[in-house]
Structure 1
Amino acid sequence: MMADLSTLPPALVVDDEPNIVELLAITLQGMGLAVIGAHSIAEAYARLGEATPSLCLTDLRLPDGSGIELVRRLHASHPQVPVAVITAYSSADGAVEAMQAGAFDYMAKPIELARLRRLVAQAVALSCPSPTETDGTRRLLGDSPVMQRLREDIRRVARSNAPVHITGESGTGKELAARAIHASGPRHDKPFVAVNCGAIPDGLLESELFGAEKGAYSGAVQRREGLFVAANGGTLFLDEIGDLPMMMQVKLLRAIQERSIRPLGSSREIALDVRIISATHRDLQEMVNDGSFRQDLRYRLDVVKLHMPPLRERLEDIPQLVEAILQRIGATPGGPPPRLPAGMLERLRLYTFPGNVRELENLLERSLALQHETFLPEEIFAVPGAAPADNAAPAPASGVAPASMDTAEAVLLRKILEQAGGDRHQAARLLDISLQSLEMRLHRLQVKEDA
């Protein structure tokens, strides 16, 4: 439920055109907000000296300077006040610079009243957060310093509509961070749509993202909505953005700049109100340098950077992660979750985890699949790459540490096949995977039942 707007401090509107100030004032007053107008940066500073506003709308081009100066001052002195900039189409780069300086959002001239009302409603939601609003960062486990800083960064960027680009190695939880940003911001009750850009065939990407009219291409027997429209009002998460083909990069750039899309085979434009979050494990600047990614698109996506730390930089979080993973994948109805044998946590902390949290999760899942009630640490947790510490316990004499994760998986598959009496259907059920997946793994690892 939205707060009583009449109790909010007045909104500050800064523009050197009196007609624009009047138009904005009429719209905001119609939404229950009082308005203070200013026609220059100096006048805006004077108004700020009188009272702290609930929100601020400012033009970028003012007679005595740039509106970005006002954005920076408000962001530094009143970080809780959302600031949106008003810009002409020709100064879209200025809007990106303003968001990097701390602006909540931007709006292009000529002003669309529907877009203005949505923007103001989101700004008001930031000014008056609901007392029952949940912290979306709680899903990011770990109390290490690097994770505490990450959660603080997420709470900060969640107060903006600026595009966020998340970097990090595979398995670090980039989608989890994107969901935390969405859940912590004013769009938390709107859709969150995730798409892996590398998992959709090139020929289907345009229709998947932007939609298509019936008959737009061979096989289009009905109208397709598209993921942008499905995410309208909320957040669209574009994972592995580096895998996007060059032609689709052009179309995505236009959608971000114009805040509208045109479905395949349609002549109509659909207005969008979508926050874009992208992610990749690749270096976009290197891709720009080698010509495989557009510089202008990188500039649009990389407004706010967020880096996911690898697990080797927060090994102190492993106990908490293990407990949560085992609770999720191994708890039985009415019974306690399985626990690691004594000493296993310390042995895990000796490992560098090139696959990060996803690899840790896979290790625990394979262990549970190998034996439902107990773990077999000699084979599952004699992990490669673990340099023994001076005080580390010696490796068990009963088993030899696998030379690689493939070797460890092959050991697991042989034991499961032996346990299933060579029945591959039963082995797949014990592993909780499909028969096809089991066959592929057996073929890749060259595992035979009589090995």
Structure 2
Amino acid sequence: MTVEFIGGSDKIVSLREKLTRIAEWNDNILLIGESGVGKEVAANYILQNGERKDSPYLPFNCGAVSRALLEDTLFGHEKGAFTGAYDKKEGLLEVVNGGTLFLDEIGEMIKKEGGADLLRVIEYGDFMRVGGNKLLHSDVRIIAADSNLEDISSELFYRFPDVVVVPSLRDRAEDIPLLTDYFLKELNKKTGRDLSIPNKIIDEFVKYSWPGNVRQLKNTVNRFCKHGEIEYHERVHNKGRVEADASNDILYAKAKEKGIDFVMEDVEKSLIFEAMREGKGKRISAANLLKTSYRSFRYTHDKYFSDK
């Protein structure tokens, strides 16, 4: 299991330092980042550098199950709680008590009925089994993650002492050669081969926008080693031209699909989110960072993040 971020870019060096500091504490953490950037790698890094590294650890995807199954999995149930509940069952919060629980797509859980119960767990560690009436407590460290900013409500955001943004691969392109070499070594070890990728192909990798981030790079290295440099060189080059500037292309595509007003709201929401993160949750600090009046900032903030 990879527990290290490969690379020497300023963004990764800063991320490592921040995660190392966070690991020394037992606070809950929220990780934000696009799909494929390595949020679970960040979770494992925190785990391995903290005092709970030898305690239970379980990853769980909140968006992959129904509300009923999600509640039962996390909280457990009492005997007779529902048809077929012939015995008491402990949920993950009890199974991982004293350890660490990685909750991916946490925003999906909050959207579902029962989301308020998870908010209580995040803040106080308290919960009840499904069908139960006794308040239980779990000493579990929650590392939560989500890739969609729109799923992060203010209720959820402000319950985490630490919020960490994991950078996209295109924002640390200088790390791509090191990552490519790392994945090559992994592949050679697995297959017993002596595979390599020419520098000209790696140069193309650096120019590419990587919408699928590190996960996409890993799979691309694998496919290149299977299919050969000439064929794949053209594919990388052509895709690179189409998506040379991923940020602009993604925004433009979204504008064509949903309209410019939707995109502008998305950008505005992202700026508000980042300013609140950097301003440690203080709206006056965030307003100053964005060089706008407090009144204007408060109006815009509440438009997107007010509790309803």
Alpha carbons of structure 1 residues 212 and 384: separation in structure 2 relative to 1, 3 Å: same
- For residues 359 and 329 of structure 1, the distance between their equivalents in structure 2, rounded to whole angstroms, comes to 15
* Paired letter, 2:221: L
Matched, 1:260 2:119: no
Q: Find the counterpart in structure 1 of residue 196 from structure 2.
A: 339
Deviation sequence 1:93-137 (CA, Å, 0-9, x none): xxxxxxxxxxxxxxxxxxxxxxxxxxxxxxxxxxxxxxxxxxx99
Larger Rg: 1
- For residues 296 and 383 of structure 1, the distance between their equivalents in structure 2, rounded to whole angstroms, comes to 43
> Displacement, 1:369?
4.5
Superposed, which structure 2 residues align to 1:226-245 within 5 Å? 226-244=91-109, 245=111
> Displacement, 1:260?
2.5
Superposed, which structure 2 residues align to 1:273-352 within 5 Å? 273-283=139-149, 286-287=150-151, 293=153, 295-301=154-160, 303-332=161-190, 335-352=192-209
Q: Find the counterpart in structure 2 of residue 447 from structure 1.
A: none
Measured on the aligned residues, the alpha-carbon RMSD in Å equals 2.7
- For residues 175 and 235 of structure 1, the distance between their equivalents in structure 2, rounded to whole angstroms, comes to 12
Q: Find the counterpart in structure 2 of residue 249 from structure 1.
A: 115
Q: Find the counterpart in structure 2 of residue 9 from structure 1.
A: none
Unaligned runs of 5+ in 2: 245-308
> Displacement, 1:287?
4.9
Structure having the larger proportion of residues in helix? 2
- For residues 230 and 23 of structure 2, the distance between their equivalents in structure 1, rounded to whole angstroms, comes to 41
Matched, 1:358 2:223: no
Q: Give secondary structure in 2 for the equivalent of 1:349.
A: helix
- For residues 88 and 230 of structure 2, the distance between their equivalents in structure 1, rounded to whole angstroms, comes to 51
- For residues 297 and 387 of structure 1, the distance between their equivalents in structure 2, rounded to whole angstroms, comes to 37
Q: Find the counterpart in structure 2 of residue 423 from structure 1.
A: none
Alpha carbons of structure 1 residues 254 and 324: separation in structure 2 relative to 1, 3 Å: same
Alpha carbons of structure 1 residues 268 and 316: separation in structure 2 relative to 1, 3 Å: same
> Which has the higher relative contact order, 1 or 2, with Cα contacts under 8 A spaced 6 or more apart?
2
- For residues 17 and 233 of structure 2, the distance between their equivalents in structure 1, rounded to whole angstroms, comes to 39
> Displacement, 1:238?
1.2
Q: Give secondary structure in 1 for the equivalent of 2:143.
A: strand
Identity over aligned pairs, percent? 38
Residues paired across the two proteins, number = 243
Q: Find the counterpart in structure 2 of residue 177 from structure 1.
A: 42
Q: Find the counterpart in structure 2 of residue 270 from structure 1.
A: 136
- For residues 197 and 211 of structure 1, the distance between their equivalents in structure 2, rounded to whole angstroms, comes to 15
> Displacement, 1:163?
1.7
Matched, 1:381 2:236: yes
Confirm or deny: 8 A CA contact 2:173 2:206 kept in the other structure: yes
Matched, 1:168 2:69: no
- For residues 121 and 242 of structure 2, the distance between their equivalents in structure 1, rounded to whole angstroms, comes to 49
